[in-house]
Amino acid sequence: MSESENLEAQLEEITVISSIYGDDFVTINEDFGTHSLRVTDGCEPPRLFLNLEITFLNSYPSDSPPLYAIGADWVTNEVEDTISSKLESLYEEAPGEVVLYRWGEWLREFLVHQSETLSSLCTGPDEDRHSPNHIAAAPAASTAAVAAAAESLADDTTGLSQRTIAALSLSDHPEPRPASHSHSHVQQAHATPEVQQQQPSSMGGGPRRAVQMVGKAAARLQSEKAPTILHGETMTDRKSTFQPHCAAVTTLDQVKLVQAELLTNRKIASATHNIMAYRIFDEARNAWLQDSDDDGETAAGSRMLHLMQILDVKNVVVIVTRWYGGIHLGADRFKHINSCTRSVLVQFGAVPEKEQAKSGKGKKSKK
């Protein structure tokens, strides 16, 4: 199957999945092939839910499954391994065929099973499982009750670990689903721009956090050597710190490699925002591939991309990391992000000399 045939299969699959899941299937970045599927246990409100963030590769579905990230605060390494193993096996059962519907349905069944297991552990065998109160009662279960019941899951290969049960049982209910979706991840409706960065994410409640792709497709992609990344100088304003990163890229897969490489750094992965923009000139098609990702900092990515267009740079990706310091910067944050973008592009040698000369015109030194 050729890349064009893969693309056609992907577009058809997106249409089908959108019609089945409706608002639970969201396109995060169309050009980048990144989508998010929200799956719940069917309870109202959901006791358990997760987001599956999917990124299509040019080799999907013919040669490999999509890249995917499993997003939910309650998911431990044990649960992630269970899910990842099953998703991989579902693709391998029918290699070369689209797989998102089968993934979504298995995840739904998995969450239903986990929710019922958790409910029985936390409410006891005499509790009416069909009572609308049995789910609400679960968070009130004591640590002792959870620990006593955990042993019963030892022989259940899809069961939750004691640590996972405790995390679920003693946590609050998941936050309501955000009302609207931004270009990158999710934003709350009617929120002011800098308040948005503190809102719950689409990844299952709590502050938004970086997620890393898992699975064999991710391993294959990351086994390729990432382009050399230039890390620019940091700058700090009112406790918020910004740092730019830049790399030469000629394909979208290389852009993903750069992102994956940066996220191996725990400090960068835990940052409040990793805002990205890239521009690639495809000489074979005589066309530009360019896009941006706000990563929760509304409109920041598009401003970076606009600056890169003005500077006439090509075949380069820039990611600006921001660690929020607790003090709102207002419009100054965009000034800092663009300043970091410009400085790292100049340092990288990506800005044509004519554009550097233009930026210097009209400036007079202060006396």
Whether residue 312 has pLDDT greater than 60: yes
**pLDDT per residue over 273-296, tens digit each?**
999 999 999 888 888 888 998 888
Q: What is the pLDDT of residue 119?
A: 73
212 occurs within a structural domain: no
The 10s digit of each residue's pLDDT in 334-363 is 999 999 999 999 999 988 876 666 655 544
Is 365 among the domain residues? no
Question: In terms of domains, do 269 and 229 share one?
Answer: yes
Q: Per-residue pLDDT tens for 117-142?
A: 777 765 554 444 444 444 334 433 33
**Is 67 within 8 Å of 215 (Cβ atoms)?**
yes
- In this structure, of 63-77, 136-150, 307-321, the range with the lowest mean pLDDT score is 136-150
**Structure confidence at residue 38 (pLDDT):** 92
Q: What is the pLDDT of residue 366?
A: 45
pLDDT at 194 > cutoff 90: no
Please report the pLDDT score of residue 232 as a whole number.
93
Residue 100 has pLDDT above 70, yes or no: yes
- pLDDT at position 121: 60
Asked whether the predicted pLDDT for residue 269 surpasses 80, the reply is yes
Mean pLDDT in residue range 17-22: 89
Q: What is the CATH number of the domain that holds 277?
A: 3.30.230.30
Question: pLDDT band at 82, cuts 50/70/90?
Answer: confident
- Residue 281 sits at the vertex; the CA angle it makes with 351 and 344, to the nearest 5 degrees, is 30
Domain that holds residue 42: 3-198
Same-domain pairing of 256 and 139 = no
Flag the least confident range among 44-58, 89-103, 210-224: 210-224
Number of domains in the chain: 2
User: Per-residue b/e over 294-315, b at no fewer than 16 CB within 10 Å?
Assistant: bbbbbebbbbbbebbeebebbb
Distance CA 308, CA 265 (A): 25
Residue 207 lies in a domain: no
Q: How confident is the model at residue 71 (pLDDT cuts 50, 70, 90)?
A: confident
User: What CATH number corresponds to the domain at position 185?
Assistant: 3.10.110.10
Residues 166 and 146: beta-carbon distance below 8 Å: yes
For residues 171 and 251, membership in a common domain is answered with no
> Would you state the pLDDT for residue 193?
34
CA distance 59 to 36: 19
8 Å CB contact between 340 and 320: yes
Q: What letter represents residue 281's amino acid? A: F
Domain boundary among 133, 164, 198: 198
- Same domain for 193 and 259, yes or no, is no
